[in-house]
Amino acid sequence: MPTTAVHLVHRVAAPPVARLLRPTVTGTVNVPAHGGVLLAVNHVSNLDNYLVSAVCPRPVAYVGKQELARGLFGAFNVAMGMVPIERGRADASVIEQVADVVRRGEVVALFPEGSRSPTGQLFRFRSGLARIAHAARADVVPVGIRGAADVWPRGRWPKPRRPAPGLLEVHFGAPVAPPEAPQGRARRVWTEQIRAQVARLSGQTMADSFAPVADDGER
């Protein structure tokens, strides 16, 4: 992944995007200043990635479905830091692909629900987050976004008006060490602990099931 482009875009584009969106941001000191780290982010809107990238103190790569890597626009997405994967998969090749980016010292944002929430609840996290964190031996920073669905609702175009100051919120939680094991009860307990922190930061209630993964053009 050509990280030079990601760092350039972050330096040039992040400040004006943040000024345009006018979010309330807390906890940026929780993002380690150096080394690889994972961001575990709730997902309710297509705005989520842009918002996190704009306010994070470090450049952010992100995981996106492989369809978004096709064609000229897809090449641009990859150049800007997208790690294309087949959505719903968490096999060894995908885990290693993303873990390698983290090992190189990058910040990678994951949406562990695997899809935008269709109800506004925080759905169960899939196993990829724990497996990548364990493989990369990387801390995970829980991130809670609020208000994004009001600006860019699921299945619709974004609203044309500039968001009111503070309508959008991004809260970075304290880093969590990777799980001791990439499978079994240890992984499940660790994953639920991360999800509980994201729920607290995002203000969402927690659903009892996984989010449905549909081919509707979402990440």
Give the residue carrying structure tokens 């009860």.
Answer: 185
Q: What pTM does this model have?
A: 0.90
Neighbours of 208 (CB within 10 A): 7
Q: Which tokens go with 39?
A: 């961001």
Higher pLDDT, 82 or 43: 43
- Write out pLDDT tens, residues 2-22: 466 778 878 888 899 999 999
Q: Is the pLDDT of residue 107 over 70?
A: yes
Q: What is the pLDDT of residue 80?
A: 64
* Stretch 46-56: mean pLDDT: 93
CA angle 13, 152, 54 (to 5 degrees): 20
The continuous run of DSSP H or E covering 118 comes out as none
* Stretch 66-71: mean pLDDT: 78
Smallest Cα–Cα separation from 175: which of 65, 34, 9?
34
* Stretch 146-175: mean pLDDT: 95
Smallest Cα–Cα separation from 132: which of 155, 115, 157, 107?
107
Q: Kind of pairing, strands 169-172 and 139-146? A: antiparallel
Smallest Cα–Cα separation from 60: which of 99, 24, 18, 14?
14
Smallest Cα–Cα separation from 132: which of 171, 81, 85, 69?
85
- DSSP class of residue 143? E
> Do the beta carbons of residue 54 and residue 14 sit within 8 Å?
yes
- β partners of residue 169: 24, 146
> Do the beta carbons of residue 19 and residue 113 sit within 8 Å?
no
